[in-house]
Amino acid sequence: MDKGYDNKGYEAEQAKKNISWNANVNLSSTQISEKIQIEKNDDYDPYQHREDIKHPIRTSETFIHLLKGSMGTGILAMPAAFKNSGYALGIISTFLIGLICLYCTHILLSTNYEISKRKRVPFLTYPEIAESAIAGGPKCIRIFTPIIGHVAKIFLITVQLGTSCVYVVFISENIKYIVDYYTPAETHIDVRLYMCMILLPLILLNWVRNLKYLAPFTTIGNIATIVSFGVILYYIFREPISFENRNPVANIEKYPLYLGTVLFALEAVGVIIPLQNEMKKPKNFGRPFGVLNGAMLIIISLYMGMGFFGYLKYGQDVKGSITLNLAEDEVLAQSVRGMLSFAIFITHALQSYVAIDILWNHYVKKRVKSNFTFWEYVVRTFCVLVTCKYKIIIHTYILILHL
């Protein structure tokens, strides 16, 4: 460590320079690294300096948002995932993958806290965390500091909007499934037309600018999801479960398909930092009995249970979404498709929130001189339109899922 960091006069002199972090592209790697470490021994607590948050969300609301953001269409594909892994290997793998995801998320949270403390800022975004981590790392990688933030933004936008694509396909296919059953065959229309029909409601939903205002709808969506899962479990256990012709370990060549489905299902990392940044009491997020651990315990258990029992029930006949295996001629089964479509519809706004936030705050807002609210709505609308075009072109749910 440089002797200068042990000299209080040096630290004060560097702090007085007040080099703006927003001008990172004009700083050398050494300057950036020094700026990160100046306050490393300070007692500044980022969690105590979040007075500027206009609409902070409560711990219970954060818990609900995290559950809803994690329990999307992926859980309905878990029986198909277990078909590709086998029920025994699927249980073990899902548990281990869930723990790895949880561990990595805690590393992300601790990194965010430590860098925020060193920089004396209330919170950071994903790209800012990436830039700061690289800038404070080994000298050989500091040259990537100016570009790593943009790389992180591109990946986040791609992942979040890609997930939104899957959601729209799921909603459209289930609505079509219901309508086709109750209407004559000559009136049936292509699933892409249903995607166009839900476009306007999706735009209006994504116009909601604060997560706090989505909480009531998210609660309704969670209730619909829980009721739907209850009905699905009723169909699963309506008849005795059998292990006959069920593989404990499937063909290893299909295991990558299992991994693709599970990693898609468990991915909620895109909403982790935004949710904690909006919390009224952010310390409650990463505590041992906090929001993250509690939500992940429920999520991993539900995913293992749905995959295990769903595969035992339908075996090799299980489809990409277990809702498509339910009885076609029963109102109860059709109601499940409707409730889940509504729940996933609400989740769409949570998934798009991160991508919209990045595009607006990091790229568009700084280039707009006036009418900020109008242009923000333009960005929100643009995101939905762009992803809708992609969804219409590629509208097979299981293929998008495995991508």
Q: Which tens digit of pLDDT belongs to each residue from 127-182?
A: 888 889 898 888 888 899 889 988 988 888 888 888 888 888 888 888 988 898 88
Residue 119 CB-half CA count within 13 A: 24
Residue 254 has pLDDT above 50, yes or no: yes
Q: How many helices (H) and strands (E) does the chain have?
A: 16, 0
Average pLDDT over residues 77-90: 93
- Residue 286 phi, psi dihedral angles, 5° rounding: -100, 10
Bridge partners, 57 (sequence order): 279
Q: What is the distance between the alpha carbons of residues 92 and 248, in angstroms, rounded to a whole number?
A: 11
What are 57's two structure tokens? 């969300």
Phi/psi at 279 (5° precision): -75, 150
Kindly report, residue by residue over 4-37, the tens digit of the pLDDT: 434 444 444 444 444 444 444 444 445 555 555 5
Torsion angle, CA of 201/207/212/217, rounded to 10 degrees?
0
Residue 190 pLDDT more than 90? no
**Cα 79 to Cα 72, 84, 304, 306, 308, distances in angstroms:** 14, 9, 9, 6, 7
pLDDT band at residue 42 using 50, 70 and 90 as cut-offs? low
Per-residue model confidence as pLDDT tens digits over 271-328: 788 888 888 888 889 888 889 999 999 999 999 999 999 999 999 899 888 888 888 7
- Lookup: tokens for 179: 């309508």
Cα–Cα distance between 299 and 136 in angstroms, integer? 34
Closest among 274, 214, 259, 328 to 53, alpha carbons compared = 274
The pLDDT value recorded for residue 127 is: 85
Per-residue confidence (pLDDT) for residue 390, from 0 to 100: 61
Strand partners, 279: 57
> What is the rounded distance in angstroms from the CA atom of residue 48 to the CA atom of residue 178?
50
Q: What is the average pLDDT score of the chain? A: 81
Q: What integer pLDDT is reported at residue 73 of this predicted model?
A: 76
Higher pLDDT, 218 or 342: 342
> What are the start-end ranges of the E strands in 148-283?
none
- Read off the DSSP letter of residue 49: -
The CA-atom distances, in angstroms, between 345 and each of 68, 150, 180, 205 are 11, 29, 20, 9
- Mean pLDDT of the region 333-355: 86
Taking the C-alpha atoms of residue 388 and residue 169, their distance in angstroms, rounded to an integer, is: 9
